[in-house]
Amino acid sequence: MARRSESAGPFLLRAALLAPALVLLLAFFLLPLAKLAMLGFEGQGYWAAITAPRSLRALRDTVLLSAAVSFSAVALAAVVGHFLARRRFPGRRLLVAMLTLPMAFPGVVVGFLVILLAGRQGLVGSVTEALFGERLVFAYSFAGLFAGYLYFSLPRCIATIMAAAEALDPALEEAARSLGARRWRVVRDVILPGLAPALVASGAICFATAMGALGTAFTLATDTSVLPMLIYTEFTLATNLGVAASLSVLLGATTWVVLALARGASGSLAANA
């Protein structure tokens, strides 16, 4: 008897506590998503919107770009993050603080920086012209997008991985070395497995952010069209709500599937190690 009333009490209490969260979830997440999914059926419909050559090309470019950026950002951040976590040198705190600065920049500013760096009047161009007599301009290509995306992804990855590297027990590395492991064995057998959860997590966030980034691509107005750009164009310029909604669902679903696959792969990797 007592048990029943006890469990009934917390159940009601839990329901009451959960209610506001459920309302929020419904109002800001499920309802708009459902509306968006419904919108996709208007006009030519999902299949036509998604299979249009333009959409498929944008999807392919976006996924490739985001994957390339995620891998590069995580690899670079692993090296830098581990270094910053372990070494103490003058100016280290300032450097760490400066690294987090780009986090506040909107995509437009990042695009602008890429133009300053590799645009028609850019720094890289001036240097290569002086050296080789030819201006290297890549701001408006896939490479420019890559540079911009990498720029805004790196700080986030470094922050996450640095925190994980600080939590790694240095005695594990010393233990591996005392057993005869050289530098690369230590990296492979101790550091990478220790950082794996952080690498996967920051890679996933990086990928999702890159998939949805608009500002940088917009500023660079490149020859490569990424999916968010296409959605923007359909929505504001062509006011083609049905196509914009279809592509949005495609973008969301693709990101979700890729992340689920990555998580599954890293999970089985960790289990095998």
Partner 1 sequence: MSLTALLQNCARSFPDGTRALHPTTLEFAAGSVTALLGPSGCGKTTTLRLLAGLAMPDAGGRVLFDGTDVTGLPVEQRGIGMVFQNYALFPNRDVAGNIGYGLEVRGVPKAERTARVAEMLRLTRLEGLGHRRVDQLSGGQRQRVALARALAPAPRLLLLDEPFGALDARLREALRAELAALLATLRITTIFVTHDQAEAMALGDQVVVMQSGRVLQQGSPRAVYQQPANRFVGQFVGTLNHLGGDRFCRPEALRPDPAGTLGGVVLVSFFEGGHTRLHLRPEVPGAEGEWVLNLGGTVPAAGSRMTLALDSAAVLHLPA
Q: Which residues bind partner 1 (CB under 8 A)?
A: 169, 171-172, 174-182, 185, 189-190, 193-194, 270, 273
Name the packing angle between helices 123-132 and 107-118 (round to 10°).
Answer: 10
For residues 130 and 171, which CB has a smaller minimum distance to partner 1 in the complex?
A: 171
For residues 189 and 212, which CB has a smaller minimum distance to partner 1 in the complex?
A: 189
For residues 76 and 172, which CB has a smaller minimum distance to partner 1 in the complex?
A: 172
For residue 268, the minimal CB distance to partner 1 (Å) is: 14
Query: Is residue 67 exposed (0-12), middle (13-18) or buried (19+ Cβ within 10 Å)?
Result: middle
Cα distances (Å, whole numbers) of residue 32 to 27, 38, 230, 235? 7, 10, 20, 16
For residue 165, the minimal CB distance to partner 1 (Å) is: 15
Please measure the distance between the N-terminal and C-terminal CA atoms of the chain and give it in whole angstroms: 49
For residue 180, the minimal CB distance to partner 1 (Å) is: 5
Query: Is residue 70 exposed (0-12), middle (13-18) or buried (19+ Cβ within 10 Å)?
Result: buried
Amino acid (one-letter) located at 248: S
For residues 17 and 179, which CB has a smaller minimum distance to partner 1 in the complex?
A: 179
For residues 102 and 193, which CB has a smaller minimum distance to partner 1 in the complex?
A: 193
For residue 181, the minimal CB distance to partner 1 (Å) is: 5
- List the structure tokens of 193: 């497995």
DSSP 170-218: HHHHHHHHHTT--HHHHIIIIIHHHHHHHHHHHHHHHHHHHHH--HHHH
| Distance from C-alpha of 244 to C-alpha of 222, rounded to nearest angstrom | 20
For residue 176, the minimal CB distance to partner 1 (Å) is: 7
For residue 168, the minimal CB distance to partner 1 (Å) is: 11
DSSP three-state, residue 234: helix
For residues 135 and 177, which CB has a smaller minimum distance to partner 1 in the complex?
A: 177
